[in-house]
Amino acid sequence: MSKGKAALLAGAFVSIAAAGVVAAVLVRGLGEPGGKNEDAAVQAEACLNGWYAQCLAQELKALATRDPKAALETYQVKAETDTRVREVCHRLFHAIGRGAAKSGSDPWDVFMLGTGECNWGYVHGVVEGYLEGDAASVIARAGALCTPRNDISTKDPYVSSVAGNCTHGTGHALFHANEDPIAAETGCREAFSDPESVLSCIDGVIMEFGNSDAAKAGAHADICARIQRDAKETCYRNIPLTWYHQNNGDHLGVLRQCGEATEDDLIYHCAWGAGNLFTVQQGFDLAAMGTICDALDGTYLRGCYIGASVAAALGVNTAVLTEAEFEAFLARSAKQTWFSELQEEVARAKDGFGPAAN
């Protein structure tokens, strides 16, 4: 790292304040909704105060409880005419999924009504809805819920993706069950046996923890240091959300804390998560993101740009960004030695987001 850029982070990697994560204004928007933060009183107050995303989520969730298909169709109609809907689409699909889980239908019938649009928010919400309960109940039911019925072909790409995203949603549910990320990590290991499902579940845990009141208050700030080694990469990719809250929205403060990872590959994953988060927090302002990333060097620069590019791909997918804006941002790092790595991650991300908005 150059002396000037090193000076920006000076002292950050020697003494990290343990207590001190997407932006406060967007955290309940593009972040993961649900659980205790979604009671009727909170929702009603949000509507009265003009919090559009919260109010629309309440409306769609209530409709999905009666008719999931109608709720999905209502979303599509609104998304065609209001950019705000597309900007908070993951949250809204979460709400529809949680309502659909209460419709009285078989879980896999509910899954098959849905879509992978907006990073599989619908599936995550369905899982949260069906798995509400204490941790022991979630652990006991998760395996069966995430296994397709015998009459549903696993050769269907949508079905296999639902099964994978179901494990991620289980992580959300496990965190809601006890508000303790370490206990929820243990629950993931008890609920699933294959390593991929375990890590997907833990990813859901850390993501949901980052949106919690406990994280904002500084609890479990050392979660990535305590978590088992096989889950550290996913932990460091998600922990910037927690640190963003704890640093009162200070980008530099988040990046300083990435230094606690000490290992270069873990610092990369943390910088990736920070770049991804900041892009959403900046309202997909790619010029602002370029300024943030360009203030970095080495592993931090690589992680910031790749994470930001993956988030920008979501922006294109949801019609918040144009393809031209996206390509112009990618071109900023085209001469970097790791540019092919960036392209590969972006391609994988586009495949994983589900169908693009029309």
User: Any idea where the domains of the chain sit in the sequence?
Assistant: 1-14+249-358, 24-130, 142-228
Average pLDDT of 236-247?
Answer: 91
Mean pLDDT of the chain: 84
Query: Residue 45's pLDDT is what?
Result: 59
Band (315; pLDDT cuts 50, 70, 90)? confident
| Percentage, residues of the chain above pLDDT 90 | 61
Query: What is the C-alpha to C-alpha distance for residues 315 and 163, in angstroms, rounded to an integer?
Result: 25
- Answer yes or no: is pLDDT of 28 > 70: no
Spatial contact of 191 and 143, defined as CB atoms under 8 Å apart: yes
- For 49-152, where are the alpha helices, taking DSSP H only? 52-66, 68-81, 83-87, 89-100, 107-113, 117-130, 135-145
Residue 35 has pLDDT above 80, yes or no: no
Nearest to 254 by CA among 9, 79, 67: 9
Q: Which two tokens stand for residue 358?
A: 């029309």
Q: Supply the pLDDT for residue 49.
A: 54
Residue 330's nearest CA partner among 319, 341, 320 is 341
- Can you give 256-315 as a three-state secondary structure string? HHHHHHCCHHHHHHHHHHHHHHHHHHCCCCHHHHHHHHHCCCHHHHHHHHHHHHHHHHHH
CA-wise closest residue to 163 among 235, 93, 94, 111? 111
Q: Which residue has the tokens 């740009």?
A: 305
Which stretch, 2-11, 55-64, 83-92, has highest mean pLDDT?
55-64
Q: What is the pLDDT of residue 249?
A: 87
> pLDDT confidence of 41, banded at 50, 70, 90?
low
The CB-side HSE value for 88 (13 A sphere, CA atoms) comes to 24
Q: Contact, 61 vs 95, CB < 8 A?
A: yes
* Separation between Cα atoms, residue 209 and residue 175, nearest integer Å: 7
Residue given tokens 């015998």 in the structure block: 150
Other C-beta atoms within 10 Å of 9: how many?
18
Q: Are 83 and 53 in contact (CB under 8 A)?
A: no
Residue 191 Ramachandran class (φ > 0 left, ψ -120 to 50 alpha, else beta): alpha
Range picked from 5-9, 298-302, 348-352 for highest mean pLDDT: 298-302
User: How much is the pLDDT for 13?
Assistant: 24
Q: What is the pLDDT of residue 40?
A: 58
- List, for residues 271-305, the tens digit of each pLDDT value: 999 999 999 888 899 999 999 999 999 999 999 99
pLDDT tens digits, one per residue of 167-224: 999 999 999 998 899 999 999 999 999 999 999 999 999 999 988 888 888 888 889 9
Structural tokens at position 19: 């207590």
Average pLDDT over residues 233-244: 93
Least confident stretch, 16-25, 48-57, 87-96 = 16-25
Alpha carbons 256 and 20: distance in angstroms, whole number: 12
Provide the whole-model pTM: 0.79
Give the residue from 191, 213, 211, 212 showing the smallest Cα distance to 202. 191
Specify the pLDDT at position 21: 24
Q: What is the pLDDT of residue 44?
A: 57
CB 211 within 8 A of CB 90: no
175 with 209: CB under 8 angstroms?
A: yes
Which of 167, 146, 147, 73 has the alpha carbon at shortest distance from 114? 73
Position with higher pLDDT, 34 vs 149: 149
Q: What is the pLDDT of residues 62-90, one digit of tens each?
A: 999 999 999 999 999 998 888 778 878 88
Q: What pLDDT does 245 receive?
A: 86
Q: How far apart are CA 187 and CA 195, in angstroms?
A: 13
pLDDT of 19 > 80? The answer is no
CA 99/CA 64 separation, integer angstroms: 5
Q: What is the pLDDT of residue 50?
A: 54
Q: Does residue 74 sit in helix, strand or coil?
A: helix
Per-residue pLDDT tens over the stretch 258-275: 999 989 999 999 999 999
Residue 4 has pLDDT above 50, yes or no: no
Question: Which range, 13-22, 144-153, 214-223, is most confident?
Answer: 144-153
Q: Is the pLDDT of residue 36 over 60?
A: no
